[in-house]
Structures are given as C-alpha cells and as structure tokens.
C-alpha cells in the first residue's frame, strides 16, 4: 500500500477549494488502487483548517510553526522536503496556483522527484503514473507518462475535479515536528488584498450573463447588461474583457477572478480558456454561444449555439420584453 499526499493550500484561515478538489481525486485513486490518502498541512494555527480536511483523508499530518502562518516557499520546501524523504509517497498533488508555481519546481530540484505541472487528470496504470494536460489552447488533451521513479510530483489545475463530499472515513491526526529551517526568511508577508472586490458580487447571482472577447466591442456590453437585468441576474465577463478595461475586475470569472455557482450561466463570445472554465465548475446549467464550433467552452456547456453572440442577445432581449 502506497500513499498519495495532497499538500493543503489555505488563505486567511480557510482551506482553498483546489485542496478539496485534489483530495476528491486522491480518494478516487486510493479506493481504486488500495492507497492511503494523506493531507500535509503547514500552518501556524490548525484548528479550523483540520476540521475542513477531516473525513477527506486517512491521515492529516500537521506542521505548526509561526513561520508557516503565511506561504513562504523556502520554509515550505524545507518542511515538505523532510516530509517526503521520510514518507516516500507514490504521488504528491499540489494545486497549480501561485503557491505551487513557486514551490513545486524548487521541491522537485530538492527531492529529485519528477514533476508534471498544470495537469487536468492523473492516472495510475499499474506501477506507472500518467498525467493529462491540455494543449493547443485547450482544444486537445495530451497524455504523458513519467520516467520511472519512487515518487512523483503533480500540480493540478483548479477546477479539474469536483469537490465531492466527505467520505466519512476515520481520519488520523498526526502532529509532526517542524525541521530546522535551512535559512532565515527572505520574504516578509505584508498582507492580502482581494483585487476582485467591487460593487457587484457575482458569486451570489442565480443567473449570470457573461461576455467575452467575442462580444466585439465595448459598446456591446450594454445589451448584455440589459439582458442580465431582465433575467434578474448579473453581468460577468472573462479576463480579456477586463484586460481591455471594458469592465472592472470584480466582474471577472476564472482563476484570476472569482469562482461562481449560478443556477444558469450564459456565456456569450467566450472561448473557454481553462482559467475561465475553472471558475464555473459549480454552475448549474451552462449555455454557450460562440461562432467557433471548436471553442473549448462547448465541452463545459449543457447547451450550445454556434452563432453570433450579438444576434442571440438581440433575440433574447426581444423575447424577454414581450413578457
């Protein structure tokens, strides 16, 4: 029996959703192949964090130290390097986030374990570990195999797996000793600022009308706003719209914006980059409109129309005004 380790990511006392997604996948692999699921939690105060992880792993290994209150890649590499040397797990999962883009390569160099980044799936094929990544802007999937090694590091794209529910398993809590840090802290945490806050809270809307670059021009935002109002919903957008300064950032959906869970998500002129799709995994019904029939958004949609977003907006507005 081997171990699958999930490195828990947290911010301001809350476990990040990508951690729960990885634990869901790890549990699936564990059940299928008879492996143990272990969550590695590095923090300064663990009470609330442990509670969010219980029932999702067979064991939670907790490292508590003041230096671990906020993410410090040097300190994390010291702790996780010692942990992996002691436990030698088969697989280590980290979220493909700002945390692990900094941490995972350093950890791979330190441990000598092979690393695959930005993966959307992990497969165990006997002793072989394989990963799936998106290529060509998400239009194709590539399956790759690692060279043979004792342990493997994989960063998982947020939104690749559902959060799932707790399995009800009995979780063992292990309080581990923090190793001596190899060097004094080179970085100082100044504070966290949510740049996506604003006058509209798109995370609370039951209906979202979301526009992308395919809307064509800033002047076409207003019809989408009107349709959103007629539907009793809110207006949201993809990152290119924010980059063009057509809408403020608090309207943005995606990994660098907000994750949303509306009952209905209408995507107009949005191609469906993985960063955007990660933000709508919790949506109920996804309706996509795009002129490109090969746009990745259609893979996430329940209903789709290969059409001009503006034509659909005009038709939808006309129907809603009849009522």
pLDDT in tens, 265-314: 999 999 998 889 888 888 999 999 999 999 999 999 999 999 999 999 99
CB 173 within 8 A of CB 201: no
**Do the domain assignments include residue 184?**
no
pLDDT at 259 over 60: yes
132 and 254 in a single domain? The answer is no
> Cα 241 to the chain's mean position, in Å?
21
Give yes or no: residues 168 and 63 share one domain.
yes
* Strand 285-289, strand 264-268: pairing: parallel
CA distances from residue 311 to 63, 183, 225, 227, 316 in whole angstroms, order as listed: 56, 60, 15, 13, 9
Hey, is 322 helix, strand or coil? helix
CA 3 to chain centroid: 22
Distance of CA 257 to the CA centre of its chain: 11
Which residue do the tokens 């994989």 mark? Answer: 154
The pLDDT, as a whole number, for residue 237 is 95
- 196 pLDDT band, cuts 50/70/90, is low
CA distance 153 to 90: 9
Count of structural domains within the chain: 2
Calpha distance 83→300 (Å, rounded): 38
Residues 128, 216 share a domain: no
44 and 168 part of one domain: yes
| Element holding 228 (H helix, E strand) | helix 221-230
Task: Specify whether 170 is located in the same domain as 209.
Answer: no
Q: What is the pTM of this model?
A: 0.76
Q: Are residues 277 and 166 in the same domain?
A: no
CATH number at residue 288: 3.40.50.1220
Q: Look up the domain containing 270 and give its range.
A: 202-322
Decide if pLDDT at 139 tops 80. no
Kindly report which listed range (50-64, 114-128, 197-211) carries the lowest average pLDDT score: 197-211
Using 50, 70 and 90 to split pLDDT, how confident is the model at 87? Answer: very high
What pLDDT, on a 0 to 100 scale, did the predictor assign at position 164? 76
CA atoms within 13 A on the CB side of 124: 21
């Amino acid at each position: 029996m081997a171990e699958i380790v999930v490195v828990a990511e947290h911010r301001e006392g809350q476990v990040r959703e990508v951690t729960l997604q990885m634990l869901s996948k790890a549990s699936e692999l564990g059940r299928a192949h008879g492996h143990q699921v272990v969550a590695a939690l590095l923090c300064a105060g663990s009470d609330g964090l442990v509670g969010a992880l219980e029932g999702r792993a067979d064991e939670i290994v907790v490292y508590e130290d003041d230096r671990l209150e906020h993410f410090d890649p040097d300190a994390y590499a010291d702790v996780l390097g010692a942990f992996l040397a002691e436990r030698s797990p088969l697989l280590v999962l980290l979220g493909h986030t700002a945390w692990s883009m900094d941490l995972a390569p350093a950890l791979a160099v330190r441990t000598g374990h092979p690393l695959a980044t930005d993966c959307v799936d992990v497969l165990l094929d006997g002793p072989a570990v394989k990963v799936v990544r998106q290529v060509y802007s998400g239009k194709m999937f590539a399956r790759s195999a690692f060279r043979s090694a004792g342990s493997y590091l994989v960063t998982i794209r947020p939104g690749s797996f559902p959060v799932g529910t707790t399995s009800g398993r009995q979780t063992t809590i292990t309080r581990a000793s923090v190793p001596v840090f190899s060097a004094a802290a080179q970085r100082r945490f100044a504070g966290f600022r949510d740049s996506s806050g604003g006058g509209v809270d798109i995370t609370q809307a039951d209906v979202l009308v979301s526009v992308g670059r395919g809307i064509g021009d800033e002047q076409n935002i207003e019809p989408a706003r009107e349709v959103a109002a007629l539907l009793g919903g809110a207006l949201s957008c993809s990152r290119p719209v924010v980059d063009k300064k057509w809408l403020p950032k608090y309207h943005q959906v995606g990994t660098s914006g907000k994750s949303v869970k509306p009952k209905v998500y209408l995507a107009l002129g949005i191609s469906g980059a993985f960063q955007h799709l990660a933000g709508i995994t919790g949506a109920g019904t996804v309706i996509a409109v795009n002129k490109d029939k090969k746009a990745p958004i259609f893979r996430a949609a329940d209903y789709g129309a290969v059409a001009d977003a503006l034509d659909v907006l005009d038709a939808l507005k006309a129907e809603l005004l009849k009522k």
